[in-house]
Structure 1
Amino acid sequence: MRKPLFLASAGLLSAGLLAVGAHAVFPRASTSVVPPSPIPAPAASPPVKVTREGVSLAFSLALAPRPLEAERGSSLQATSRLTLTDARTGEPLAGRRPLAWMRLRPQGEPAPDEAACRQQVKTYLGGLMSARADVDFNAYWFLTLNHDQTISVINPQIAFDRTKLQHLVSVGGGAADWALLPDRSAVYVTVPVMDTVSVVDTERFLVTRPLRVGRQPGRIALSPDGLTAWVSNDGDGTVSVIDTPSHAVRDPVEVGPGPHAFAFSDSGRIAWVSTREASTLTAVDVTTSEVLGRVDVGAGATGLAWSEVARALFVARPGTREVVVVDTVRREVSRRIPVQGGLDALRFDNTGRWAFLVHKDAGTVDILDAARGQVAHTLTGFSAPDTVVFTDAFAYVRNTTDSRVSLVELKTLEGTGRPAVVQITMGQRPAAEARELGMSDPIAPLPEGNGVIAAGNADRALFLYQEGMMAPRGTHLNYGREPRAVRVLDRSLREVEPGVFTAQGNVRENGTYDVQVLLDNPRVVTCLEWKVGGVPEDASLARTLPLKLTPEFDAKRTYAPGQAVPLRFRLEPTAGNGQAPVAPEEIRVLLFKTPGTWQVRTEPRRVSEGLFEVDFAPPSPGQYKFVVGVEGRGLDLGRLPTSTLGVSQPLATALTAETSP
């Protein structure tokens, strides 16, 4: 996998915190102040190079200027570029899985030797909050769309056994569908009861604005270039188009009564919209939203899919037991393919040749060969399947009345023999036991392409599966929430051309950085040096925490199991930063045992201004952590200093236990 060491190590580690700490936010400037001119990015420096184990590595970092709308104290966005070539031939090393970090070297500290470099990489792989890099080029998260109007942000790289929940985002109402923008800057979430689309900022993990669309927005789809988002307004027969760079909503397009489905043809230049109640498909110019024409396919269309192989549009019409093939150039129906009734999903694999037709009531899946225009296989033995998701090697079909996911091997679809199907059990409870299944994909391919993350709706958990295994390799809890859908937010190094990998990170301090690089094949661990200059001084000052945490309890004392004791602490604004006093409802306190699964999350009591208190009642001897976070002030759990509390039996009790018959 792309990050095998992160995922494999998660089960071996016993300590960590549940939240990656966001950088502290510099005090907001007055709204009456005119925004400063953008600070130009410093000139790019030539790459630094090193050769290890027959591999030549070249690393460079480019800083982007701070945008005009950015707050004072914001970091600069940096794009890393790592080039891997064969040291002997100069050929690019494509298909590798590099990891990279940057650590600001303290003044006066020497450059790390090989042993120190390896130890630093090992520490980063541990996932502990105390070992976070200053710039991490390997970050990725699992996002879940939940039953309770929230999105969970789960960090699988943190070494904490019970939960890896980093953020919880309220989207403002019951969510119907969602879409992640290609630049990974935001998630759009349709909220039918509010007639809006919530824009979730994936840097800060909060809703920045609601976009007013038509009535009862449902499905949402992105154009192939990601510049527009198309929203089905199920309540008024229109479609809203959002320009994603500006988050601006265009005038609605009249298409007929919904619900609607979307597909894109002609290299993404034309959007096709179906209507379940009306009989026509509508072709819309993606750039201008102009209606280009309509095709009569008959009423009851529930799904659309474009096939690059057939250069045609396929329309699901379950009521008439057919798939209609539309010639998008002539804008006419070219063929009608008979299929079984009860068609619940129509989707093509990544090649655009094989269309999977999912029949929930019949418990079957038809596989249509677009190259020949006919059903090539009919598979049975499913338990109320409702959706299908693809990697390059497999189709993943979810069963809703048992906990299996059925994997259909795509390379076995050629020929007339029965395709190979593997059954993988994911979780204990079937999806049908959840409150509602939702309309978004409950399975998401991992970035490396050889596995998936699957939402266990009723189990309230996520299951990590790697192809070739007969069971999930890991489980991530969703903290009591039902995940109706899941996505991967990936900001790690990705290959943009053979042997060239890029990723973005945030830099907020000038100085000399040690760049640690780990390569999987061949195994290479090396450190390079990179000097950063041109970062504004206010970005560095923003590293100063806006709040000061002072424990009023004795962290060195030994606490007794089963006895509740109050833990008092002071939490006050840092001198001179203009912050208001902290309220109890702003504060989250986490107490957890390490190693172990016991944890308590609570809001403290106010004793007096700046002085707070929580009860600590450890259930058993061991080592415990005391962690405080104030998310609203840029201090997620783990940013403020933590305390370690020792718990053991009192000596007299222990001696009594030893001498008892």
Structure 2
Amino acid sequence: MRKSLVFTTLGLLSVGALSAAGWNLRVRAPPDVPATAPPLPAPEPVLAEREGVSVRFDLSLTPRPREAAAGAPLQGTARFVLQDAKSHAPLQGRRVLGWMSLREKGAAPLDDAACTARVKTYLGGLLSARADVDLNAYWFLTLNHDHTVSVINPQIAFERTKLHSLVSVGGEAADWAMLNDRSALYVTVASGNSVSVVDMERFLATRTVRVGQQPGRIAVAPDGRTAWVSNDGDGTVSVLDTAAHAEVETLRVGAGRHEFAFSDEGRTAWVTSTEADVLTAVDVASREVLGTVKVGVGAGDVAWSPVARALFVVQPRSSEVLVVDPEKREVSRRIAVKSGPGALRFDRSARWAFLLYPEAGAVDVLDAARSQVAHALTGFSAPDSVVFTESFGYVRNTTSGRVSLVDLNTLEGTGTPSVVNVTMGQRAPEESRGLGRSDPIAALPEGNGVIVAGTADRALFLYQEGMMAPRGTHLNYGREPRAVRVLDRSLREVEAGVYSATATVRENGTYDVQLLLDNPRAIVCMQWQVGGVPEDAALAKKLPLTLTPAFDPKTLLTAGTTTPLRFKLEPTPGMTGMPPVQPEEIRVLLFKTPGTWQWRTEPRRTADGGFEVDFTPPTPGQYKLVVGVESRSIDLGRLPHFTFGVVEAPAATTASASEVHR
């Protein structure tokens, strides 16, 4: 389990602190660019030693491919090699944070005090203090009821709004899957008979792939080359090429809903069908049907256990879990279970399978090594999904706001496993408009907690293991999150003592490199010389548009009174050749701080070429105005934002423009 950060003497942030994602991570090389492109010449690795730790850093940048857009930055790989200074043994299992900041010309290197202050500033997540290269980026993604995917920056210190982007997928989403390289997110849209492709660098839906009728479940093969889509409306499965984002095969596997599992190190795909009586085996590489196994009509979930070297198939009609031998392609064992079995999931060890019973309010724990039920747990409230960390199984209860934590360390033996209930939010998931098919809980990068989608509460709950309540809440801005996942681009250990992350660099020059290590606690600063970045890449750091307010934010507004707020969005000096901004490109967010009230709209065009929105604050307090233009790579929060004071009024009136306009 990855350890989280705890700092006391340095006065830094506590467990799980990560810096906010930088907005300079924008452009990615096309997928067809060879990964083996020779790197640019770079200096020798730099060395430093602190607190008995030897640190070696290097950055390898790849030349910008000819296919990339003008102004695109360079992509590369940053590496920290950590060793014990005396024994030279690699430091494994550490939590490492890193940043690179471009040094002003003529400035001196950071001393220890300045280095510590710089790291503390980055940990604060302030918009005004962002590293030029952030090696710790991660976001929360939510699959929403209103045909959107929210991208939430959990560490940004921007008061009540942490929404980084909002992506429309073109219809009600059924399921989603992330590509192995985290370059794209696939979302199945049943109403459109399609899969929406979301670019995970720009957070934009860039392509629509037509598939069969009513696509539901989607799964990416272990090798990452293909994605498998269940077309629940026509009895087929679409196989997508993840490099080309295109359908390459359509397989007929039987009518109804389908579930997927992959065996033999990902070489074979297995597909169930609720209206056919067979489990279908498909060669992943050739996409040829290898054979079928008779499992009876109505088969549900299917899961592969490398421990048992077998597939486990839920058969609700006969109240059984069928153990399938993948080589003989036959049912080798039948495990009798209670009536009404639902979801089946294996923990990370692949030994313990949790079988959920929504109607009975129970959970069975199956031991794959013995192919039998090891524990029968009760006391749940219509459980429908389970997600695992190294230490716990998290079971969602749909008729209460509780999440049940089953201690995996207590499963061995005949004793009753430990189960702890933690309340997440005020409303039960069943009070929402729909529960969805995707996981509503996701493990955090630190490995010692989860993020829970509070579907009916329209919020996310951050839970750290060992606590009896969530340690944080993130609003989802009026949207019901039916599923949640973590997009993690932070430094990770790729081999013993070597921690690596993708780096995006826009400017040449001398960079101060900051490293924060959890054990032993240490802050290390070094310097690195970057060369070879095209000059036009630095221009992309500038915002292409400048926002000029035509109102005085110091003027007090009145609750219940409508006030027109005007502003201009004009090209930044030096930015030429871009078309004028259209109102439909602009997103305006007004929200109360603190509080949950928020309002999104697009402005109307004014006669002088500016833009205007009518603001009617519902109650007294402090409100913020934030403007974003995603089509110009300007997310909410990048442009200047404004705070308004609102006072009470006996009756609603309409303010004149002269009261707020200069």
- Considering only aligned residues, what root-mean-square deviation do their CA atoms show, in Å? 2.9
Tell me, what secondary structure is at the counterpart of 2:120? helix
TM superposition shift of 1:248: 2.5
Report what 1:72 is aligned to. 70
CA contact (8 A) 1:300 1:319 kept: yes
Identity, % of aligned pairs?
A: 67
| Equivalent of 1:572 in 562, 570, 573 | 570
Report what 1:634 is aligned to. 633
| Alpha-carbon distance change, 432 to 619 in structure 1, aligned in 2, over 3 angstroms | closer
CA contact (8 A) 2:585 2:630 kept: yes
Amino acid corresponding to residue 49 of structure 2 in structure 1: T
Amino acid corresponding to residue 289 of structure 2 in structure 1: V
TM superposition shift of 1:573: 1.9
Report what 1:169 is aligned to. 167
Report what 1:486 is aligned to. 484
CA contact (8 A) 1:138 1:492 kept: yes
TM superposition shift of 1:141: 0.5
| Alpha-carbon distance change, 552 to 360 in structure 1, aligned in 2, over 3 angstroms | closer
Give the stretch that moved more between structures: 640-649 or 65-74: 640-649
Give the stretch that moved more between structures: 559-568 or 504-513: 559-568
CA contact (8 A) 2:25 2:504 kept: no
How do 1:69-468 and structure 2 match up within 5 A? 69-468=67-466
Report what 2:521 is aligned to. 523
TM superposition shift of 1:94: 0.9
TM superposition shift of 1:161: 3.6
Report what 1:586 is aligned to. 585
Tell me, what secondary structure is at the counterpart of 2:259? strand
| Alpha-carbon distance change, 278 to 620 in structure 1, aligned in 2, over 3 angstroms | closer
Structure 2 Cα separation of the partners of residues 615 and 330 of structure 1: 69
Structure 2 Cα separation of the partners of residues 342 and 622 of structure 1: 51
Tell me, what secondary structure is at the counterpart of 2:173? coil
Tell me, what secondary structure is at the counterpart of 1:101? strand
The superposition leaves residues 171-202 of structure 1 with CA deviations (integer Å, 9 ceiling, x where unpaired) of 11111111011111111111111111111111
Amino acid corresponding to residue 428 of structure 2 in structure 1: P
Tell me, what secondary structure is at the counterpart of 2:115? helix
TM superposition shift of 1:118: 1.2
Tell me, what secondary structure is at the counterpart of 1:129? coil
The superposition leaves residues 455-505 of structure 1 with CA deviations (integer Å, 9 ceiling, x where unpaired) of 111011111111111111111111111111110000111111121111113
Structure 2 Cα separation of the partners of residues 514 and 118 of structure 1: 12
Tell me, what secondary structure is at the counterpart of 1:260? coil
CA contact (8 A) 2:5 2:518 kept: no
Tell me, what secondary structure is at the counterpart of 1:302? coil
TM superposition shift of 1:372: 1.1
Give the stretch that moved more between structures: 495-504 or 157-166: 157-166
Structure 1 Cα separation of the partners of residues 217 and 253 of structure 2: 14
Structure 2 Cα separation of the partners of residues 233 and 617 of structure 1: 46
The superposition leaves residues 570-603 of structure 1 with CA deviations (integer Å, 9 ceiling, x where unpaired) of 3212355112222333223445676777766554
CA contact (8 A) 1:24 1:546 kept: no
CA contact (8 A) 1:312 1:326 kept: yes
Amino acid corresponding to residue 503 of structure 1 in structure 2: A
| Alpha-carbon distance change, 18 to 147 in structure 1, aligned in 2, over 3 angstroms | farther
CA contact (8 A) 1:19 1:636 kept: no
Tell me, what secondary structure is at the counterpart of 2:537? helix
| Alpha-carbon distance change, 618 to 156 in structure 1, aligned in 2, over 3 angstroms | same
| Alpha-carbon distance change, 432 to 616 in structure 1, aligned in 2, over 3 angstroms | closer
CA contact (8 A) 1:236 1:257 kept: yes
CA contact (8 A) 1:195 1:212 kept: yes
TM superposition shift of 1:616: 6.5
Tell me, what secondary structure is at the counterpart of 1:92? coil
Tell me, what secondary structure is at the counterpart of 1:177? strand
Structure 2 Cα separation of the partners of residues 593 and 322 of structure 1: 53
Give the stretch that moved more between structures: 546-555 or 227-236: 546-555
TM superposition shift of 1:417: 1.0
Report what 1:29 is aligned to. none
Structure 2 Cα separation of the partners of residues 569 and 417 of structure 1: 67
| Alpha-carbon distance change, 605 to 259 in structure 1, aligned in 2, over 3 angstroms | closer
Structure 2 Cα separation of the partners of residues 136 and 24 of structure 1: 12
Structure 1 Cα separation of the partners of residues 647 and 107 of structure 2: 39
TM superposition shift of 1:526: 2.1
CA contact (8 A) 1:40 1:66 kept: no
Unaligned runs of 5+ in 2: 649-662
Give the stretch that moved more between structures: 237-246 or 609-618: 609-618
TM superposition shift of 1:277: 1.2
Tell me, what secondary structure is at the counterpart of 1:229? strand
CA contact (8 A) 2:21 2:137 kept: no
Structure 2 Cα separation of the partners of residues 294 and 492 of structure 1: 42
CA contact (8 A) 1:10 1:126 kept: no
| Alpha-carbon distance change, 372 to 624 in structure 1, aligned in 2, over 3 angstroms | closer
Length, aligned pairs only: 633
CA contact (8 A) 2:424 2:469 kept: yes
Structure 2 Cα separation of the partners of residues 93 and 39 of structure 1: 30
- TM-score (norm: length of structure 1): 0.90
| Alpha-carbon distance change, 594 to 478 in structure 1, aligned in 2, over 3 angstroms | closer
Tell me, what secondary structure is at the counterpart of 2:191? helix
Structure 2 Cα separation of the partners of residues 436 and 594 of structure 1: 29
Structure 2 Cα separation of the partners of residues 406 and 362 of structure 1: 15
CA contact (8 A) 1:549 1:570 kept: yes
Give the stretch that moved more between structures: 316-325 or 69-78: 69-78
Structure 1 Cα separation of the partners of residues 632 and 115 of structure 2: 34
TM superposition shift of 1:9: 5.2
Structure 2 Cα separation of the partners of residues 621 and 385 of structure 1: 42
Report what 1:470 is aligned to. 468
CA contact (8 A) 1:582 1:610 kept: no
Report what 1:612 is aligned to. 611
Report what 2:659 is aligned to. none
CA contact (8 A) 1:230 1:242 kept: yes
Tell me, what secondary structure is at the counterpart of 1:118? helix
Structure 2 Cα separation of the partners of residues 146 and 550 of structure 1: 33
Structure 2 Cα separation of the partners of residues 345 and 482 of structure 1: 22
Give the stretch that moved more between structures: 518-527 or 432-441: 518-527
CA contact (8 A) 1:105 1:511 kept: yes
Structure 1 Cα separation of the partners of residues 593 and 433 of structure 2: 34
Structure 2 Cα separation of the partners of residues 136 and 5 of structure 1: 20
CA contact (8 A) 2:24 2:541 kept: no
The superposition leaves residues 148-172 of structure 1 with CA deviations (integer Å, 9 ceiling, x where unpaired) of 1110111101113423111111111
Amino acid corresponding to residue 373 of structure 2 in structure 1: V
Tell me, what secondary structure is at the counterpart of 2:272? strand
CA contact (8 A) 1:24 1:635 kept: no
Amino acid corresponding to residue 391 of structure 2 in structure 1: A
Structure 2 Cα separation of the partners of residues 321 and 24 of structure 1: 50
Structure 1 Cα separation of the partners of residues 625 and 382 of structure 2: 46
The superposition leaves residues 327-353 of structure 1 with CA deviations (integer Å, 9 ceiling, x where unpaired) of 111111111111111011111111111
CA contact (8 A) 2:280 2:291 kept: yes
- TM-score (norm: length of structure 2): 0.90
| Alpha-carbon distance change, 426 to 648 in structure 1, aligned in 2, over 3 angstroms | closer
Structure 1 Cα separation of the partners of residues 176 and 110 of structure 2: 45
Give the stretch that moved more between structures: 620-629 or 514-523: 620-629
